[in-house]
A and B are shown apart, each in its own frame.
Chain A
Amino acid sequence: MKALIKYSLHDYLRSHKYFPPISTFMILIFVYYSYTPNPIIDSYAVTALIVYVISAWLCVSVLSLDSHVQRQMMILHIGGENRYYLSKLISVWLITLILTLYAFIYPITFGMFNESVSLKIGLVSIVNHIFLSILGISIASLFSKVITENAVNSYGGLALIITISLATLGIYDVLPTYLKNIIWIIPPAVGTQPVLFNWNGENFLDLLLFPFIWMIVYSTILLYLFLRLAKKSQK
């Protein structure tokens, strides 16, 4: 799998397709921190959402690199579809890890906060970024070329789902009581936001863990679904 991950990252670099999502990400971070000082936890909560959106974009972009025949040959070389698709998803995740580090280090390096970042806040913020990037990747995998051949459906469908997921809290407020449970099927991208906004950053035990766990459970379900559907669509 290591060889395919290297191949995918190398190929992505050469394709120059990374430029739109990565440059958008850097501009968004730059614009967000154009005013100083900023509250640490709230700022990191917002940049984690930026990572979420860009991760989805990166995933669709990376999974569109190989043609159908190239994919078939690589599956033969690597010894199975699951290995192929997992390698591709890990490649995307490695790129998002770099974005996470950038989002974390940028405000510290350029003094965008009025206090120093404690270990606890730093750790929780990084975990939130990583979990949201995994969620973004898992959603986007279902809208990638592997499953959705049509580019309009792929990018359009993904943009719609991402927008709905970002507006979840507002949607929840306007829904009638008997429909509020519908919120569970929407990707839980903003579930950790209120938890982080209300956290004082001093004690891990004050942090409600459920939204974080649910995000990973939700992502795992989507990734499992992706692997199943990808196998079907391949054949």
Chain B
Amino acid sequence: MEKLIELKNISKVYTDKKNVLRNISLTINKKQVIAILGGNGTGKSTLLRIIAGVERPTSGKINYPNKTIKIGYVPERFPKNIRFSPSEYFLYMGKMSGASKDGLTKRIDNLLHRFQLEGLKNQRIMELSKGNIQKVGLIQSILLKPNLLILDEPLSGLDFEAQGELVKIIGELKQQGTTILITYHESNILESTVDNTFLIHNGNISETETTVKQSIKLLIIRNVEKSVVKDWGGIHKVVEKDQQLYLYVSAKESDVILSRVLQLKGSVEAVSTVTLDEMERTI
């Protein structure tokens, strides 16, 4: 696989001494869809900004073998106070990136249509709803078919149709050679599109198994020792709380684990489905 970006020992410490990222090394290849997951405040957005080149790491190095790499970036919070209509804004952004007006107009019309923004194309962005502003953020990032597309929580605020359209566009861009880096919470819509998943925890990054991407069950049990369950397969995390054990297990294995608990004369207090983010928050 051809290398697109290489991160070597990236660390980020903010002025409040908060060490957000520690010695992260990562190679991103071409034509991949990579998810970077983790709880709130774990440094996902910081890592994405560093990869986009809009934030500098405290230490470490980023190599872009292709020096003329085109990067599309959707920030977590797209600015709200833009005094232009979507059409005007995209035309300016496209021209800033060096596109010609003719090709750009066609592309803008097509994207406005796909994201159902046609009716709002002449209304100022600052007057649009949160979801529509998010669509504007997405469109500006794919105006010119980037080599690397960085999407920081692109699904938040999007309606179901727009989420589907985004998944389709991600697939198309991947086919055309774009690498996509994405973060998301509480959604499974992208899981089938993602090739690799990385998890950020305590400033460190690790590649996760595919099972972690699938839905996670939380089993709250009693009368079973932590030392007994900790080596069972399919368990991502065990937390001991108020004489209960909180088992975060992959959905596939949950039935097997439940029957084992019952065999050991343990009692099951609750079973629920949780997201990766919720699991992270309990750490």
CB-based nearest A residue for B72 = A76
Which residues of chain A from 61 to 104 have a CB within 8 Å of any chain B CB? 67, 69-70, 72-79
Q: Which residues of A contact B130 (CB under 8 A)?
A: none
Please measure, in the bound complex, the distance between the C-alpha atom of A2 and the C-alpha atom of B93, giving whole angstroms. 12
Min CB–CB distance B26 → chain A (angstroms) = 19
A15 to B78 CA separation, bound complex (whole angstroms): 19
Minimal beta-carbon separation of B21 from chain A (angstroms):
14
Which residues of chain A in 31-71 are interfacial with respect to chain B, using CB atoms and an 8 Å cutoff? 67, 69-70
Q: Which of B42-99 contact A (CB under 8 A)?
A: 49, 52-56, 71-73, 75, 77-79, 81-84, 92-93, 95-98
Q: Is the CB of B140 within 8 A of A235?
A: no
Nearest residue (CB) in A for B144 is: A77
Pair B54/A235 contact, Cβ less than 8 Å: yes
| B98 shortest CB reach to chain A, Å | 8
Closest A residue, CB atoms, query B91? A3
> Measured between C-beta atoms, what is the minimum distance from B126 to chain A in Å?
10
Q: Which 7 A-B pairs have the closest CB atoms?
A: A235-B56, A3-B95, A72-B54, A77-B96, A14-B83, A70-B79, A7-B92
Q: Which residues of B contact A70 (CB under 8 A)?
A: 79, 82
Residues of A within 8 A of B83 (CB): 11, 14-15
When distances are taken between beta carbons in the complex, the residues of chain B under 8 Å from A235 are 54-56
Contact B96 A3 (CB under 8 A): yes
Interface flag for A6 (CB, 8 Å) = yes
Considering the complex, give the chain A residue whose CB is closest to the CB of B73: A76
Contact partners of B54 in chain A: CB under 8 A = 72, 75-76, 234-235
Determine if A78 and B96 form an interchain contact, defined as CB atoms under 8 angstroms apart: yes
Given A7-B92, A235-B55, A73 and B81 contact (CB-CB distance below 8 Å): no
- Given A15-B83, A234-B54, A235-B56: A7 in contact with B78 (beta carbons within 8 A): no
> How many B residues have CB within 8 A of the partner chain?
24
| Chain B residue at minimal CB-CB distance from A71 | B54
A73 touches B56 (CB 8 A): no
Which chain A residue shows the least CB distance to B56? A235
Taking CB atoms and an 8 Å cut-off, the chain B residues in 1-33 that contact chain A are none
Q: Is the CB of A4 within 8 A of B96?
A: yes
Return chain B residues, CB-CB under 8 Å to A76.
52-54, 71-73
Chain B positions near chain A (C-beta within 8 angstroms): 49, 52-56, 71-73, 75, 77-79, 81-84, 92-93, 95-98, 140
Q: Which residue of B lies closest to A6 (CB)?
A: B92
Chain A contacts of B53 at CB under 8 A?
76
| CB of B207, distance to nearest CB on chain A (Å) | 27
Alpha-carbon gap, A76 to B51, bound state (A) = 12
Per the bound structure, the CA–CA distance linking A75 and B78 in Å amounts to 15
Among residues of B, the one whose C-beta sits closest to the C-beta of A235 is B56
The reply to whether B73 and A3 form a contact with Cβ atoms under 8 Å apart is: no
**Considering the chains assembled together, what is the distance between the CA atoms of A235 and B71 in angstroms?**
17
Contact B96 A7 (CB under 8 A): yes
Q: Report the separation of the CA atoms of residues A25 and B73 in the bound assembly, to the nearest whole angstrom.
A: 40
Instruction: Tell me, in angstroms, the Cα distance from A235 to B79 when the chains sit together.
Output: 18
In the bound complex, residues from chain A placing their C-beta under 8 Å from that of B78 are 69
With a CB–CB cut-off of 8 A, which chain A residues contact B73? 72-73, 76
A77 lies within 8 A of B93 (CB) = yes
**Distance of A165 Cα from B72 Cα, bound (Å):** 44
Contacting residues, chain B, for A77 (C-beta < 8 A): 93, 96-97, 140
The smallest C-beta distance from A32 to any residue of chain B, in angstroms, reads 34
- Report the minimum CB–CB distance from B122 to chain A (whole Å): 14
A73–B78 alpha-carbon span in the complex (Å): 10
Listed A/B pairs (19) with beta-carbon separation below 8 Å: A3-B92, A6-B92, A10-B84, A10-B92, A15-B83, A67-B79, A69-B75, A69-B79, A72-B52, A72-B73, A73-B73, A76-B52, A76-B54, A77-B93, A77-B96, A77-B97, A78-B97, A234-B54, A235-B55
A79 to B99, CA, bound (A): 13
Add 19 more A-B contacts to A4-B96, A73-B73 (CB < 8 A): A3-B92, A3-B96, A4-B92, A6-B92, A10-B92, A11-B83, A14-B84, A69-B79, A70-B79, A72-B49, A73-B79, A75-B54, A76-B52, A77-B96, A77-B140, A79-B97, A79-B98, A234-B54, A235-B54
